[in-house]
Amino acid sequence: MSDRISLDDLNGRDRAGFIAALGDIFEHTPWVAEGAYARRPFATVAALHEAMMGVVRARTEAEQATFVAVHPDLAGKAARAGAMTAASVSEQAGLGLDRLSEEEYGRFEALNTAYRERFGFPFVICVRRQTRDAILDAFERRLAHERAEELAAALAEIGHITRLRLVERVDGPGAPEVVGRLSTHVLDTHKGGPAAGVGIDLYEVGASGRALLRQATTNEDGRTDAPLIAGAPLRIGTYELVFQMGAYFAARGLDLPERPFLDAVPIRFGIAEPEGHYHVPLAVTPWSYSTYRGS
């Protein structure tokens, strides 16, 4: 379903209409929407999501494990065979899990198999909040969990997955926070003001190298016209901002050596809060720079 539905519309629907609208938010589990129907009306979208999660939490541990088991493996056989819901296909494709090399598929298959053998259900994680490296790190880390701890972790991740899906489906007040923001600001402390015209490259840094995500140029306020990332969760992982300060100071006409002390200035940082605001400013002169996490 591509059209958004108003919360008022949902509150006024009969049982069949309510389930038809929300039955696919939780993977292959329309009984979650059916259980939430009795708790209408919902004042906020967040309350609707909490009610749906409450239906899941009210089930026994065995029923919860069966519920988790309907979710697909990451980059697994179901993905390659096309046997997943459209939402899962889109979410995994957004991270490139449908375009892995045979070696990469092999690694995911080995982890999927080890995980299922240990816990009896598939590894579930909200891929829209993760980089590929972060997913693999989480795979390894969570394999060490006890089963009850891992079942709780899987349900928490399903909460993240369905929160994103619900916010995209339902329009109404009190939507839960599901997006983050990455921004920057370049201050030329040599002249005592913002640095305009600085080229900026944003990379995701992973085990296999760096991937260029965006290029931008600072405006008269020393900022980019729009955030570097916005409107979606920030993916947990490692990033690098590269500021082209050599070209900027050369354009100012300063009396500098032929080979400048600072040219491309890299700042590597980690993102751990997908719904957070990460502001990474640069205070710079031709001979020094500093940074911090701003607000």
Domain boundaries, given as residue ranges, for the chain: 5-171, 180-291
Please give the Cα distance from 249 to 137 (Å, whole number): 40
Distances (CA, A) of 59 to 64, 66, 122, 285: 6, 10, 18, 60
Q: Give the list of residues 6+ apart from residue 146 with CB closer than 8 angstroms, or none.
A: none
Map tokens 């983050």 to a residue. Answer: 180
In the prediction, which pLDDT does 69 show? 95
pLDDT of residue 1: 44
Asked if CATH classification 1.25.40.80 holds for the domain at 180-291, the reply, yes or no, is: no
Model pLDDT, residue 283: 98
Fold of the domain built from segment(s) 5-171:
UraD-like (1.10.3330)
Structure token digits, residue 222: 């020393």
- Residues 40, 58: contact at Cβ < 8 Å? no
The angle formed by the CA atoms of residues 149, 150 and 151, to the nearest 5 degrees, is 95
**CA dist., res. 236 & res. 130, Å (int):** 5
Q: The whole model's pTM is what?
A: 0.86
**β-strand partners of 201:** 215, 242
* pLDDT at residue 210, rounded to an integer: 87
Helical H segments across the chain, by residue range: 7-12, 15-22, 30-37, 45-57, 61-69, 77-81, 86-94, 102-119, 132-142, 147-169, 245-251
Q: Which residues of the chain have pLDDT under 50?
A: 1, 78-81, 83-84
Q: What is the pLDDT of residue 106?
A: 83
Q: Count other Cβ atoms within 10 Å, centred on residue 63.
A: 11
What's the confidence (pLDDT) of residue 3? 76
